[in-house]
Amino acid sequence: MSIRIWILIIVLALAFLAVAPWQALEKGIIVRSVERDSPAFNSGLRQGMIIQAINSQQISNLVDYTKIVSNIPPTIGNMTKFTVKTSSQEFIIFTNTSSLDITVDSIPKTKIKTGLDLSGGARALVKPINVSLSSNEIDDLISVTSERLNVYGISDITIRPVADLAGNNYMLVEIAGATPTELRDLVGKEGKFEAKIGNDTVFAGGKKDIASVCRTDATCSRIESCSPTQDGGYGCRFVFTVYLSEEAAKRHADITGKLGIDTQESGRYLDKKLDLLVDDKLVDSLLISEGLKGQVTTQVAVSGSGVGKTREEAIKNAQENMHKLQTIMITGSLPYKLEIVKLDTISPALGKEFLRNIILLGAIVFFIVSVILLVKYRKIKITLAVILTMFSEAFITIAIAALIKWNLDAPSIAGIIAGMGTGVNDQIVMISEAVSNEHLSLRDRIKRGLFIIVAAFFTIVAAMMPLFWAGAGMLRGFALTTIIGVSVGIVITRPAFAEILRKIQSKE
């Protein structure tokens, strides 16, 4: 067996590993999201964990989970105890409700990720009203929007920048399971950050009040300390410096000058805290040092914390909380309102039906192509070789998408089908060259076929590149999977098919 065929076999094996279909054999349910600051979150339960048992009762599917959770009675003081066993550890959670405040789902059968077209949800193409943004400004908008949606407790969010052929920049927001009304309410609002003492606004996000925020210098942005907590976990403190404008510094002095002093175990502080709000929702409250009372200072030390079951997890959560505060302080208040240019939605039921129809269409295409090739060439071996190559290209393309965590939506599936069509066309070219009666060796005729295919490959890639920006990037999936498909063909499957074809023709 030649090296080209061995390469195809090895790549197919690696593709099988990338897709990982044995995930379906694992028992349990996967945690899709955990309500922040809920008992489950504070106990260490996190998104992506696999729940296998609750209170020593095994869980194999969503039905088991619903039945077990609904039948657990309250214990002492109307508190409900959940002993949650995951695939890696066990958590003991006490809550005053009958719910864990988590969202769960069945364990995915593979590592293939699907877009909203197949899994259901809502998608919005967003831009500021009467304002054109640069790529950097769009990145800031995405940071603010992500923080705002996190504050509202929304999970399974995908937010990315897109641009059209005219150079206009947009923000694409996708939320699994959301309705159009919910999405419109969430992203159609202006992002707003405020720091308040009582009812008085000290400073707001943006350049007007905040000159800069220390983010990368360890001397003014760091994890300050970590220590064990009473519940057996860890807590870590972070601190970073905010540089205020002169106007905001004077406002801070006027407001703090009227406050009293409160003595605590950890030190002396003003009797009111600095409340940080995003869209009028409280995200954190910070103590104000006694030394800042009535002082006109452009430097404010902002501190906070993160907790976790282990020291490493507490450090990670503290870093995430620090980054969140830094982001909303820098870009929390935007000088423009947003409008939804395009709003799409699809239900999970329609997504499943669409996926079922795609699989059926693929099977029909395989069957029709096979019959046509068998009738035309009357050679079962050649027909089987073409079918094997079509399957290989599609499977390897899907595996690459799973490996790079690309969401396969309708345009992406269309790109895979287009790649399959291109592959069949290339194979027919090679077959026609192989069976021709010209006075050339079989190897030379197949080489000539490969030359034609390589030229066509560069043409297809050139044609696909504009689609990365056409329609504000909505066809990016089609372009990407098409390019992946034809690249797999030109590097792996076409050479292997040529070798298989040469062996078939040589024996005949």
Q: Which domains does the chain have, with CATH numbers?
A: 3-18+348-507 (1.20.1640.10), 22-106 (2.30.42.10), 121-191+337-345 (3.30.70.3400), 193-331 (no CATH)
pLDDT at 128: 82
Q: Which stretch of 241-255, 388-402, 421-435 has the lowest confidence by average pLDDT? A: 421-435
Q: Are 413 and 473 in contact (CB under 8 A)?
A: no
Buried b (16+ CB within 10 A) or exposed e, 232-252: ebbbbbbbbbbbbbeebbebb
The conformation of residue 492, written as its DSSP 8-state character, comes to: I
Helix (H, G, I), strand (E, B) or coil at 362: helix
pLDDT at 469: 66
In the block, residue with structure tokens 């945690």: 31
The model's pLDDT over 88-122, given as tens digits with 9 standing for 90+, comes to 788 888 877 667 777 777 777 777 777 766 766 77
Q: Are 24 and 110 in contact (CB under 8 A)?
A: yes
* Distance of alpha carbon 386 from alpha carbon 486, whole angstroms: 15
User: Residues near 35 by Cβ (< 8 Å), separated by ≥ 6?
Assistant: 41, 101, 102, 153
pLDDT at 96: 73
* Distance of alpha carbon 109 from alpha carbon 19, whole angstroms: 9
Q: With residue 441 as reference, give the H or E element that holds it.
A: none
pLDDT at 458: 82
Q: Give this prediction's pTM.
A: 0.56
The closest alpha carbon to 238, from 278, 194, 284, belongs to 284
Query: For the packed helices 180-187 and 135-151, what is the interaxial angle rounded to 10 degrees?
Result: 120
The conformation of residue 473, written as its DSSP 8-state character, comes to: G
Neighbouring CB atoms inside 10 A of 206's CB total 18
In the block, residue with structure tokens 């088991």: 64
pLDDT at 188: 61
At position 331, the amino acid (one-letter code) is T
The pLDDT mean for the chain works out to: 78
User: Residues near 38 by Cβ (< 8 Å), separated by ≥ 6?
Assistant: 95, 100, 101, 102
* Distance of alpha carbon 72 from alpha carbon 98, whole angstroms: 8
The closest alpha carbon to 315, from 214, 224, 213, 216, belongs to 224
* Distance of alpha carbon 195 from alpha carbon 211, whole angstroms: 15
Neighbouring CB atoms inside 10 A of 498's CB total 23
HEC secondary structure over 255-294? HHCCCCEEEECCEEEECCCEEEEECCEEEEEECCEHHHCC
The model's pLDDT over 158-195, given as tens digits with 9 standing for 90+, comes to 788 888 777 788 888 877 655 566 567 666 655 577 88
- Find the mean pLDDT for residues 76-86: 77
At position 411, the amino acid (one-letter code) is P
In the block, residue with structure tokens 């405040």: 101
* Distance of alpha carbon 416 from alpha carbon 485, whole angstroms: 6
Q: Are 81 and 92 in contact (CB under 8 A)?
A: yes
Q: Are 60 and 28 in contact (CB under 8 A)?
A: yes
Q: Is residue 367 predicted with pLDDT exceeding 60?
A: yes
The model's pLDDT over 467-507, given as tens digits with 9 standing for 90+, comes to 776 655 567 788 888 899 888 888 888 888 888 888 877 76
Neighbouring CB atoms inside 10 A of 30's CB total 19
Rg (CA), the chain: 29
Q: How confident is the model at residue 446 (pLDDT cuts 50, 70, 90)?
A: low
The two three-digit tokens of residue 498, written as one number: 């040529």
* Distance of alpha carbon 221 from alpha carbon 239, whole angstroms: 6
pLDDT at 350: 61
Helix (H, G, I), strand (E, B) or coil at 395: helix
At position 61, the amino acid (one-letter code) is N
